[in-house]
Chains A and B, each alone.
Chain A
């Protein structure tokens, strides 16, 4: 039926194409570090990194209200902001605090993930210090007060007068305690 020589060529091609398929499987995984690097370099999604503030000019003519929201996802932790909201001028350095307590019976590791409202305001809230920059380890019954230091960027559109900064604590699975908190994509 199929000559032996052709069979050999066919088999070679099969091996090459299978290798290519395997390579593309690897490519899918290669997108993970590439994506993280891309986000880091372009600063698209650096929620968990320290921002730098270049222009510290305080704009006394404007007021912006920041509201704080605290949530816990599936952990026996109690988590709340000390102040529900603050009024600040754009460019003004402000520090607020959050209370956290582990009501469970075990030591747990949590990671807070910030999110912002309105949708695209993440770029305007520059965090200089935040408990979300690293994982928090709380022993059973332990409590702590944690600071957030930020500046609202002066380029915030004038139509925006209220911003919401919301944190959610997620449990860091035991198998993955080593994950660095600084480089989330």
Chain B
């Protein structure tokens, strides 16, 4: 299964047409796939809170948005998630590369990994963790759930899901 293509296909099938990204090595393939899709407007952000602002505006303009970013961004965006996305009740699927998990070669990444789920739980953000490639089968349902409940929803995708990082 090509998980990059599956993620992009599910976004298009769920009418997600506005995607902002801040890159991560693990996310390079899915970002490239999204950039090539005619049905998706892709706008790279310089910082993840800026990206969430763009997504909030796009949502109010009638588009379904999504953000693709690294888990370190949870440390950057807590205020935006609480006072914009959640306070105004806006949907936001967050496809997050979960650095610092199994098969991670960079020790510093673990320092934010150990806080990631705790921070998301503290924010009451529904959180899903893709560890095996077959976990991507849930993605379509997660998107439907996100736009049903108008909440930010986190999809953590670790190195094992992406087929390894640094140990291949």
Tell me, yes or no, whether A binds B: no
Give the A-binding residues of B (Cβ under 8 A).
none
Give the B-binding residues of A (Cβ under 8 A).
none
